[in-house]
Amino acid sequence: MTKVACIGECMIELKQADAGLFSRGYGGDTLNTSVYLARLGVAVDYITALGDDPMSDEMLVGWATEGIGTNRVARLKGKLPGIYMIQTDAFGDRRFFHWRENAAARSLMDLPETDDILQSLATYDVIYLSAITLSIYSPQGRTKLIGALGSARKHGARIVFDTNYRARGWPDPDVARAVFGEAFAVSDIVLASPEDLLPLYPDESDEQLMARIPCNEVVLKLLSPGSIVRFEGASREVRPEPIKQPVVDTTAAGDSFSAAYIAARLAGAEPVEAAHAGHRLGGVVVCYPGAIIPRSAMPPDILPGTGSTRKASQ
């Protein structure tokens, strides 16, 4: 069975409820992708660090309930997960506020078990991470992780990098540009967007942004609905079906796109078909508040030609 590892951070999520209150859940870009991958039938492990507190326990139970493997989750005594709060406007556009400076996940590359975790990456078929993943580690930690990705790739793993860029997570743009270059160099698939890349490469066209990414398979999710897919030197524009319900929260739109894209590719879909799958799932996710939609809201026809959300790994 094809197996995916997702590396990153999960935080406590506070999202707006009625009467000025907030409801509590959990989320984080790579964790969100893990959940949607599991719901699409992909065998996936989440690699991170958590504390030894009740909220970390709750996260692990929730992930296991979703079918996500947790054997590679480090537990740190006296540490806690980070927190983020989502604020949305009348159009569903969101702002995030974070409290994560001392979160357990930031220590993942500096633990006694770090080497074992990194060596285990070579046992996976696909490894997924984001720019946010790389931003939470020290420079030495990033070097360790990127080196391990290169080693895993030599053993046959495919590396998928999502350019999810948040400026506040980086000391300055020059550091981010250098790390992006290193990540591009070890990636087989890059999932990008002008929203992520233009702050680092101002005033460049979509074509110029894509030209910066050397790997064979690139998806650029556009600012207007749609994407450009480049595969084996040829580019195609993909336009999604219109969203028929009101957009209430764009949180995890990109994360769910990534999950459906990866799941579709693992199921044998061509890149353009996979991008359509990503747009289909993202178009459902934005109609619900928070990062993770109810299981009952998962549409049955995300993956091309399956008519089911549970066939990607069969």
Q: Residues with catalytic annotation?
A: 255
Query: Taking Cα atoms as reference points, which of 119, 125, 154 lies closest to residue 43?
Result: 125
Cα three-residue angle 295-252-108, rounded to 5 degrees: 100
Length of the chain: 314
Q: Residue 272: which H helix or E strand, with range?
A: helix 271-285
Distance CA 96, CA 21 (A): 16
Distance CA 134, CA 123 (A): 21
Phi, psi at 39, each rounded to 5°: -70, -25
Strand 234-238 relative to strand 11-16, pairing: unpaired
Q: Using alpha carbons, select from 29, 28, 30 the residue that is nearest to residue 7.
A: 30
Please answer whether residues 84 and 14 qualify as being in contact, where contact means their C-beta atoms are separated by less than 8 angstroms.
yes
According to DSSP H, which parts of 112-170 are helical?
A: 114-120, 131-135, 139-154
- The candidate with the shortest Cα–Cα distance to 12, out of 68, 45, 39, 51, is 51
CB 231 within 8 A of CB 217: yes
Contact 38, 62 (CB under 8 A): no
Backbone angles phi, psi at 303, to 5 degrees: -80, 135
